[in-house]
Amino acid sequence: MVAKGQKRKLLEGRGAWESQLQSVLDISMEKFHRDQALVEPSLLRSVLISNTLRQVQSEVRAQVESLSSVKMPTKPQTHSGLEPDFPSGSPSSTEHNAPVFSLNDENSNTEEDVMAWTSEEDFSLSSAISVILKDLDTVIDAGQGPPRAPLGSVENLTGDARHTQYPPSSSRTERASNVVPSVKSEAACLGCPQDVVLEKLLLDIDTSVFEPEVNLLQGFSVTADDLVKYLPSLSKSPSASSSSSSSSHGQATWEIQEIEHVMDILMRTYPQS
Amino acid sequence: MMAGVGGGNDFQWCFSQVKGATDEDVAEADIISTVEFNYSGELLATGDKGGRVVIFQREQESKNRPLSRGEYNVYSTFQSHEPEFDYLKSLEIEEKINKIRWLPQQNAAHFLLSTNDKTIKLWKISERDKRAEGYNLKDEDGRLRDPFRITSLRVPVLMPMDLMVEASPRRIFANAHTYHINSISVNSDYETYLSADDLRINLWHLEITDRSFNIVDIKPANMEELTEVITAAECHPHQCNVFVYSSSKGTIRLCDMRAGALCDRHSKFFEEPEDPSSRSFFSEIISSISDVKFSHSGRYMMTRDYLSVKVWDLNMENRPVETYQVHEYLRSKLCSLYENDCIFDKFECCWNGSDSAIMTGSYNNFFRMFDRNTRRDITLEASRENSKPRAMLKPRKVCTGGKRKKDEISVDSLDFNKKILHTAWHPKENVIAVAATNNLYIFQDKLN
């Protein structure tokens, strides 16, 4: 059992490191967000800031791991499947008195593991670390979806869509271009008449235009499979479609509705920060 | 406290001139962004954030005006780059001149390359001191003469006129860089030059503007994996097949263009192993190299990172042969400097003509000189307070702790808005040009 005095020393030593870690993290995140708002952030600056954030993240993870190895001998294994190297830990959460943190997938187990075997003395330290982890995840996810106005609605797009419709932020459009190809491939796979319209729409978007700027912390996790789940009606369309003129008008409006639906999905896949 | 930087004899740096506005309010466009002497040192060019180039010419020695011996006066001013708008990406392209590089003089005209973030231009600066008079088809004021009234032909004669210096763009090298150009460097063959942006380096022929060779490309297939960018590049002064480029991780790669068309694989890799005891969250940022310069001899190169200047022997890749601390007292302030963005400042460095001394800038309008032979260093200040003609500059000292002596300045009193990023040393004489925001200071050695 780790003596109380030793625990306290551990905490004090941690205090200085923690405060520096917290300030570096705060400053880095502030810069990161500020740069995101710029039309064209400096690539050198972005790389240096994101590398610093990664370093902070790995330091925090290392500290949490060392915390867990300190804690493990003292606490009973109530948490099923507790492993020293998370975040691949087990999913159960409700059995513990964990504070309510809305963490995203990857680190939720980490955070819960931390909380599982924390005593009141270490609660402040662990909660500080978990706040830091949560902040880091917010940063990484925020990289995927910045707080911006959504893409313009589909029916306004003309042939010059790439010039007029797309917003000034090139980093946002880079994200759009990352999403679009997966939708495009999905549409191509479906091979039904309705997605011809969708394909034409997507072809209008020249993704090579959006090459230069990129969000370096992007870990865009939307895959084509995910999008398929949200596009059930498109896959059903072959049976619904018919070449008869009576249904063609209904088909056209239905196509527009489907495209709007797709655009809604695209907007929703940017997680709200 | 050192009286001067030696190189055999001690130098005594004296104020010579200062150019630029004296107002407290600095117009953003007037901020000097690059300074460069030409090969003879007769001309000194500056570029600013407003896209203008100002060229100063050194006065010839004259018995009539002995006091103005060696003074630099304005020779030519022109607008090199204008702000542009990239409609495809909805981005404004800054007109700020990032670098100026002179070409060696081959005839009466002078040529220089100037670049902003995206476009490089070759400018010809020529003098006109004669004008043809007595044309047949037009009058002196340019009006066309009625051909039916011409009864006799005359031969135009050249008449002297007031000296006019004209700058004309001879080549425009555009559309080759997706990212921001940080360096240009003229090759020793005087036919080609390289331009480097964050991820790529291109090789150009001075005569050909619609094509360039891409010789380095470090862009990853997946931009999410990008962790390192190119920060500076330079051609070797004598070997036209060799060039170097530095990175944001503190490494320098030397490449040989004979090895292959694409120089992604380096011939030499220079990196100093990290000192684990000084590791911090900012280690990587402060290791980022902001400038790389070959010595005139071509045997050494110098790199500038945030806190130090390092001299490397091209034959030794594992560590520099000399390291000079520019402002080590800032190491304990890195967190604040990160917060106020000063940690991202890109300082340049330069060699003197004989490679015996190096110079670089710092904050509070201080600049530092290091003598490689005697290992002595000096800190001087570019300030209008020391601007009496031929006044000798007093060495400055930063107090790092404890009791502050008279004439010392404490670290906390340093003005981090007054930064000397750009300096240049005359290729043959002890004359230096120091850019302090919107002012250009010229200092000369008293013994000059």
Q: Do B224 and A219 touch (CB under 8 A)?
A: yes
Q: What is the pLDDT of residue B261?
A: 84
Distance CA A174, CA B223 (A): 11
Q: Which residue of B has its CA nearest to A216?
A: B224
Strand partners, B115: B99, B120
Mean pLDDT of B120-144: 91
User: A-chain residues within 8 Å CB-CB of B92?
Assistant: 39
Residue type, B422: H
Q: Do A52 and B223 touch (CB under 8 A)?
A: no
Q: At what angle do helices A120-142 and A43-71 cross, to 10 degrees?
A: 150
Where residue A59 falls among pLDDT bands split at 50, 70, 90?
Answer: confident
**Residue B273 DSSP label:** P
Of residues B317 and B148, the one with the higher pLDDT is B317
Mean pLDDT of B394-403: 87
Where residue B327 falls among pLDDT bands split at 50, 70, 90?
Answer: very high
User: B-chain residues within 8 Å CB-CB of A216?
Assistant: 223-224, 226
Q: What is the pLDDT of residue A206?
A: 46
SS3 of A16, please? helix
Where residue A60 falls among pLDDT bands split at 50, 70, 90?
Answer: confident
List C-alpha distances in Å: B13 to B16, B236, B365, B419, B439: 9, 30, 16, 20, 18
Q: Express as a percent the part of chain A with pLDDT over 90.
A: 7
| DSSP letter for each residue of B77-89 | EEE----EEETTT
Of residues A53 and A225, the one with the higher pLDDT is A53
Q: Do B224 and A210 touch (CB under 8 A)?
A: no
Distance CA B362, CA A77 (A): 57
Distance CA B308, CA A231 (A): 57
- Integer-rounded Cα Rg, in Å, for chain B is 24
Mean pLDDT of B37-44: 97
- Nearest alpha-carbon partner for B208 in B176, B242, B237: B176
Q: How far is A167 from chain B (nearest CA, A)?
A: 8
Q: What is the pLDDT of residue B309?
A: 98
Q: What is the pLDDT of residue B178?
A: 94
Of residues B360 and A94, the one with the higher pLDDT is B360
* pLDDT per position as a tens digit, A174-217: 443 343 333 344 434 444 455 554 555 455 444 444 444 444 44
Q: Is the pLDDT of residue B402 over 70?
A: yes
Q: Express as a percent the part of chain A with pLDDT over 70.
A: 21
Residue type, A7: K
Residues of A with CB under 8 A from a CB of B: 20-21, 23-24, 27, 31, 39-40, 42-45, 47-48, 50-52, 55-56, 59, 163, 166-168, 170, 209-214, 216-219
Distance CA B232, CA B245 (A): 6
Mean pLDDT of B86-100: 91
Q: Do A47 and B228 touch (CB under 8 A)?
A: yes
Where residue A256 falls among pLDDT bands split at 50, 70, 90?
Answer: low
- Tracing tokens 């005095």 back to the chain, one arrives at A5
Strand partners, B131: B159
Q: What is the pLDDT of residue A180?
A: 38
Where residue B363 falls among pLDDT bands split at 50, 70, 90?
Answer: very high
SS3 of B301, please? strand
- Return phi, psi of residue A150, to 5°: -70, 170
Mean pLDDT of B1-12: 50
Q: What is the pLDDT of residue B67?
A: 58
Q: How far is A199 from chain B (nearest CA, A)?
A: 22
**Residue A257 DSSP label:** H
Helix ranges (DSSP H) in B300-346: 334-339
- Return phi, psi of residue A217, to 5°: -90, 15
Q: Is the pLDDT of residue B290 over 80?
A: yes
Distance CA B320, CA A42 (A): 29
B90, B248, B281 member nearest A55 (Cβ): B281
Of residues A103 and B107, the one with the higher pLDDT is B107
Distance CA B331, CA B305 (A): 13
Helix ranges (DSSP H) in chain A: 4-37, 43-71, 105-116, 120-142, 161-164, 170-190, 194-204, 224-230, 232-240, 245-268
Q: What is the pLDDT of residue A137?
A: 56
Distance separating the N- and C-terminal Cα atoms of chain A = 41
Distance CA B229, CA A46 (A): 10
Tokens of A192: 């039904």
Distance CA B430, CA B445 (A): 6
* Pair type for strands B357-361 and B366-371: antiparallel
Give Cα B301 distance to the centre of its chain. Answer: 16
* Pair type for strands B397-399 and B408-410: parallel
Residues of B with CB under 8 A from a CB of A: 87-92, 178-180, 198-199, 223-224, 226-229, 231, 248, 281-282, 284-285, 288, 335, 338-339, 341, 344
Model-wide pTM > 0.80 = no
Q: Which residue of B has its CA nearest to A160?
A: B88
Q: How far is B275 from chain A (nearest CA, A)?
A: 17
Q: What is the pLDDT of residue A190?
A: 42
Where residue A70 falls among pLDDT bands split at 50, 70, 90?
Answer: confident
Task: Please count the residues of chain B.
Answer: 448
Q: Is the pLDDT of residue A246 over 60?
A: no
SS3 of B51, please? coil
DSSP H or E run through B74: strand B72-79
Q: Is the pLDDT of residue A219 over 50?
A: no
- Nearest alpha-carbon partner for A166 in A35, A39, A32: A39
Q: What is the pLDDT of residue A10?
A: 60
Of residues A9 and B190, the one with the higher pLDDT is B190
Distance CA B227, CA A46 (A): 9
- Nearest alpha-carbon partner for B290 in B307, B305, B301: B305
List C-alpha distances in Å: B430 to A166, A178, B364, B425, B445: 55, 56, 23, 7, 6
Q: What is the pLDDT of residue B17?
A: 93
Q: Is the pLDDT of residue B119 over 90?
A: yes
Q: List CB contacts of B348: < 8 A, sequence separation 6 or more.
A: B290, B291, B304, B360, B361, B421, B422, B423
Q: What is the pLDDT of residue B400?
A: 84
Q: Which of A3-12, B84-93, B249-258 has the lowest mean pLDDT?
A: A3-12
- Nearest alpha-carbon partner for B6 in B330, B354, B394: B354
Where residue B284 falls among pLDDT bands split at 50, 70, 90?
Answer: very high
What average pLDDT is seen over chain A?
A: 55
* pLDDT per position as a tens digit, B159-217: 999 999 999 999 999 999 999 999 999 999 999 999 999 999 999 999 999 999 999 99
* pLDDT per position as a tens digit, A96-137: 443 333 333 344 444 444 444 334 444 555 555 555 555 555
- Return phi, psi of residue B188, to 5°: -75, -10
